Each structure stands twice: as structure tokens, then as C-alpha cells.
A = this chain, B = another copy of it.
Amino acid sequence: MKFNKNLENLTNYEAGKPIELVVREYGIKPQDVIKLASNENPFGTSPLVAKRITELATNAHLYPDDSYFELKDALANKFNVSSKNIIIGAGSDQILEYCLHAKANENSAVLMAGVTFAMYEIYAKQVGANVIKTNSQTHDLAEFRKIYDTHKDRISVIFLCVPNNPLGECLDASEVYEFIRYVKDETLVVIDAAYNEFAKFKDAKKGIEPEFIVQNFKNAIYTGTFSKAYGLGGMRVGYGIASQEIINELGKLRAPFNITTLSLAAAITALSDNEFVQNGIKSNFEQMVRYEEFAKFHGLEYIKSYTNFIILKFNEQNASQIVQNLLKKGIILRDMKSYGLNAIRITIGTAVQNDRVLAELDEILK
């Protein structure tokens, strides 16, 4: 059977290995597995959210309120925009998908950093768009401009990951705004702010303001998620904030009930538990120092991170081998080989988790 041509160039995204797989393959007890591979919140689910989910467990048969009235209202208040500037997705991932399905096609190109979130490329290829990456692995806006100037008429979407997953570096908000201004109105600039709560905490200059974007730009969208700082990775809720025009068009691609009834309630509750979020972010950067110190001690290069993970680069040692060896011990980290790097991405865990990971790494590097 023949399928659409675009599928020929597609490969599947390799998700972080789940705890279940380690349990199945290595016979390790679930409670003994440490998973620091997918940038999940190490402090788990906010107790308020868990309580809300429990209260609604008997409502699993009911479709959610597809207008997402209450969640949009809460987000609108938080960000000081209108509900009409907001679209809800199954993770911000789905908003990225809508952006590409709405703006890119076989005749257009999509521009992104050399090493950045893998789904940009996959969604672009789904619609047959050409993918252009900067030579620089991290975001180099001078190079972005140069490429944009050369291919201005073809580039329909530009991704800025602020801060960048999987590397961790972060543009200043002012640089982002200046870049959007530089780009002509027909090119959509997607500001993927999945980890922006972390960056903003570390350095206020990194905080992207959705309100400013809505007020000043007709060709930009801010995407945020409940998966990271809010601790709801498993619930799949994200959002896009942009002009009403963009939101209306993306809305045509949104299937009804694209998030679950429990996810909707969980997200609304998570927004109200600011203490959980802020405590998690604070601990994240306190613990991150331990990995930085570890890297310095062992002469490993690392990227200064504005996220809840850190990249450790290896020299002689083979990072993939290290990841594989730790996996057998029940520690799941992310091998960066598929990104062309001899490096490991480690989600910053709790103090106890980091104790064990650092001890095991120390053993290997000794």
C-alpha cells in the first residue's frame, strides 16, 4: 500500500526509557529505579493535584468541558492576556504540531538550532517541509538571521527553544523580542518556553512574557507546559498564547477533547499550587550546583543550564556505554548520541537521587 510521500522521511522519536522497561528487562524493583532521563519533576505530583485527581477518579467516563473555560480563564489571569489568546494542547508538543501543520508545507522551510527539541523536525517532516538547522548547536541568533536573510521567502516557521532542550542554554527575552521584530510578518516564530519557569527563576532577564508577545507581535506564539515545573508530565497538558488570529487558525486543527477530564482538573489545580512549583525550582538549582562541581572535579565539560537538567560531556569515556551500565543498575539517564554528542543529559533529581547518581558516576570516572 502506498502512503503519503512525507512519511518516507519520517523516523520515530525515541522517548526516554520508562521505568517499566528497566523493571521488565533487568528485574529491578520499581521503587529501586531512579529515572532522571525525561525531565520529570523529581518531587512528584503536587499533593493538591493528587487529591483532586482522586476526587474525580469516578468521572473518567465523562468527556471534559471542551471549551476548557476554567483552565483558559486561570491561564489568562496568570499571564494577563485574554482567554481568546489561548489554545490548549496535549502537552505543548501538540501546539508545536499545530503550528507546523498550519504554516509549513512541501514548499516551505523550518529553521531551528543545531541541537534542539527533536519533535520540531519530526512535525516539520510530517508536512513535507524542509528542515534547516544552524551550524551552531546552541541558539546563535546571528546565524539564525543570516540563514533567515538567505531563505526569507521559504522559511515559514522558526523555532526558538528558550531555554533550549536538550542543551540547557537560554537566550535573553530582549534578544528573543528583537529577533521577532527582525523577522517579517509572514514567518511564525515559535517560542518554546517549556522550561522558561526555571530560566526566569535563575535570571529574570530570561523570562519571556506572553503578554508582551500578544501586545507586540502578530507573528509569534509562546508555548508553555504543565509537564515540567508543574509536575504533570504524565497528564499531557500544554498551551499556546498568541494573537487571536493565530489561535483561531490553530484551533481548526485541534480535535475535540484533546486533553483528558483528569488532566484538565489537574492543570487547573496545579496552577493554584505555586508553592509546590517554586520549591521545586529552588531545589533544582541548589542541587544542580552539585553536578557542576562534580564536572569540574572530574574535568568534564558541562553546559550552564537554565533548566531542570544538565549536559555532561565526556572525553575518553563513551557516554552511551556509561548510560547502558547505569541502566543495568536501575539508573535511567539520557544518552545524547542520537543528537551527535558524546554526552549525557541528567535531570536534576532530589538530593537522595542525586547522591546515588553522583556516587555511581564517581565510581565509573575514578
Contacts and interface: CB of A to CB of B under 8 A. Distances in A.
Interface of A: 1-4, 7, 10-13, 15-16, 18-21, 24, 35, 38, 40-41, 43-45, 49-51, 53-54, 57-67, 69-70, 90-91, 93-94, 97, 101-105, 119, 122, 126-127, 185-186, 188, 218-219, 227, 231-236, 245-246, 249, 251-263, 266
Contacts of A7: 102, 249, 252-253
When all copies of this chain in the complex are counted, the total is 2
Given A1-B246, A4-B105, A262-B260, A53 B57 contact: yes
Given A105-B4, A256-B13, A261-B234, A58 B63 contact: no
Contacts of A15: 63, 66, 256-257
A227 B35 CA distance: 31
A45 B62 CA distance: 9
13 contacts: A1-B246, A7-B102, A11-B252, A12-B252, A13-B255, A18-B64, A40-B61, A44-B59, A45-B57, A45-B61, A91-B255, A91-B257, A234-B262
A125 B90 CA distance: 21
Nearest to A97: B255
Contacts of A101: 4, 126
A interface majority secondary structure = loop
Given A44-B58, A235-B60, A255-B13, A263 B260 contact: yes
A152 to B, nearest CB: 14
Nearest to A8: B252
Q: Which 5 A-B pairs have the closest CB atoms?
A: A234-B261, A18-B65, A53-B57, A10-B252, A15-B66
B4 A63 contact: no
Contacts of A11: 252
A3 B103 contact: yes
Q: Which of A19, A246, A256 neighbours the largest number of chain B CB atoms within 10 Å of its CB?
A: A256
Contact of A60 (B20, B49, B218): B49
Contacts of A102: 3-4, 7
A256 B91 CA distance: 10
Contacts of A236: 257-260
Nearest to A105: B4
B1 A188 contact: yes
Contacts of A59: 44-45, 234
Contacts of A64: 18, 234
Contacts of A263: 260
Contacts of A43: 61
A252 B5 CA distance: 12
Contact of A253 (B44, B53, B126, B266): B126
A20 B127 CA distance: 36
Given A7-B249, A252-B11, A61 B233 contact: yes
Contact of A1 (B18, B63, B219, B231): B219
Contacts of A12: 251-252, 254
A61 B234 CA distance: 5
Contacts of A16: 63
A259 B207 CA distance: 30
